[in-house]
Structure 1
Amino acid sequence: MPIDVITPQWPAPANVGAAITMRSGGCSRAPFYQSNLALHVQDDPEHVFANRRNLVESLKLPAEPLWLDQVHGTDIVYASGAYLPESSNAPQADGSYSDQPAAVCAVLTADCLPVLFCDRAGTQIAAVHAGWRGLCGGILRKTVATFHQSPDQLLVYLGPAIGPQVFEVGGEVLQAFLDQAQNPQHQQAIVAAFTPRDSAGDKYLADLYALARAELQASGVRHIYGGDFCSYSDSERFYSFRREPKTGRNGSLIWLRG
């Protein structure tokens, strides 16, 4: 049974393919039911490999995706396309980029924000895993810098992440973002992305989508799509670490068609 996917609604060029996996369609069992793609969550590796093969076949991908060892950092790597389906040597990074038709960039998430990039010319792609630490550390602007085209020629899609109604953080997270503000306008957008949870100002509800848009706009990106999901509240389609600490991971993939 093919893994069910969401096709991003954005004006990407015809030669750019993109997909976001949902929970249904794979062979993993509870609590990873059903299409978990991550090896590090204590799912049966054979089920994970079967799900990955299923995904490659059902999407007719040009190659095995470059699966990453994600560490909530800001490193991004170049994807050449020469990867083995069951390799255990995943590079330690939180994003990949490529200009090769034989490459598939992919990230895994369960509340963190997956971000897909391409240029209007359809010559380059990237996929990024951005939790609050990665966003604060500048992983999105680092990704923008890998493109040969100017930022206003990029298209960006924000995939399923924990929504602003439920993502509670401490005041230190707000301060960490403010410390990295690029300009007064960016600083204003950061403040607007945090809603006080209590009168003491110790807890906030943070909007990852708004923070990502603010970072991208500060980097010169103008064409931003998606950002209307909540992985925490949509248990039918998405995994959520905050909802269920022992759970699977959804995949967000992008590739160039030959």
Structure 2
Amino acid sequence: MQTTLEILTHPLLGPVRHGFFTRKGGASSGLFSGLNCGYGSSDQGEIVTINRTRAAEALGLPLARMATVHQVHSPDVAVIRAGDDPSSFSHKRADGIVTDQPGVALAVLTADCQPILLADPEAGVIGAVHAGWRGAVSGVIEATVGAMTDLGARRIRAVIGPCISQKSYEVGPEFMDEVTAEDPGHHRFFAGGPNGRPMFDLPGFGLMRLREAGVEAEWTRHCTYSEPERFYSYRRSTHQHEADYGRLISVIAL
């Protein structure tokens, strides 16, 4: 069994420990083969715990110091403060997490949605966001930036990790109507596809919202749908009529 983790990092986040983990190096097998970190999948819970432990330890922390939240495609943000137990946040319904506490890791799970890791290294404030299209439209990116600013962040940098790219993201007209209802200018994130339906640029949309919030931002330019050997993808698993799919983990730590 392959045990070497593959961790994608980005120089924009500077000295802050972080990693967008691919599916390589995990203990899961079958449909979930690799580093499946989703308890919400039908994978064995003890195997998911092994995988999460490997990810946390790769960043130099025990699993008990890695915080996740119950992701619900919302604009809500959890703040981890002094004295909080990071492991107690797993049942809190939110899609952003921020902290200024050393020795705490923040993690989000994705399988096509955007994992966004944010940091102000000078201020010692970090954040992590799970941003699908619905969360992005509802303002989770801006809410996370605001929560980091409340903790003292002033120069925030962000990196969007592996997510579904425009060439793989066919949507319906009602989807486009919902995204453009907020701002007709959002039409620029749609292009015509091979089946005559709109194709949505999720990472482009995320970058726009980050930059409009005053954040310097980049995308790693990895498409989850297009690289099955490296990434889990909800949409790909649906198209292939698979019973379930794994979840990727992205982590940042002070």
Output the TM-score relative to the length of structure 2: 0.87
Find out whether 1:250 has 2:248 as its counterpart.
yes
Aligned to 2:48: 48
Aligned to 2:97: 96
3-state SS in 1 of match to 2:12: coil
Do the aligned residues in 2 keep the contact of 1:151 with 1:220 (CA within 8 Å)? no
Aligned to 2:229: 236
User: Which residue of 47, 61, 85 corresponds with 1:82?
Assistant: 85
User: Which residue of 175, 183, 190 corresponds with 1:194?
Assistant: 190
Deviation at 1:12, TM superposition (A): 2.4
Distance in 2, Cα, partners of 1:229 & 1:70: 22
Deviation at 1:152, TM superposition (A): 7.2
Distance in 1, Cα, partners of 2:67 & 2:200: 30
3-state SS in 1 of match to 2:31: coil
- Deviation per residue, 1:126-175 (Å, 9 max, x gap): 00001110011111111111122898721010101011101011122222
Aligned to 1:158: 160
Distance in 1, Cα, partners of 2:208 & 2:90: 34
Cα 1:236–1:122 shift into 2, 3 Å: farther
Query: Mean Cα displacement is larger for which, 226-235 or 114-123?
Result: 114-123
Distance in 2, Cα, partners of 1:79 & 1:175: 36
Deviation at 1:64, TM superposition (A): 2.7
Aligned-pair identity in percent equals 33
Deviation at 1:120, TM superposition (A): 4.6
Aligned to 2:241: none
Amino acid at match of 1:249: R
Aligned to 2:57: 57
Do the aligned residues in 2 keep the contact of 1:151 with 1:219 (CA within 8 Å)? no
Q: Which runs of 5+ in 2 are unaligned?
A: 239-243
Kindly tell me the number of residue pairs found equivalent between the two proteins. Answer: 244
For the aligned residues, what is the CA RMSD?
A: 2.3
Aligned to 1:126: 127
Aligned to 1:11: 12
Determine which structure has the larger helix proportion and give its number. 2
Distance in 2, Cα, partners of 1:171 & 1:100: 44
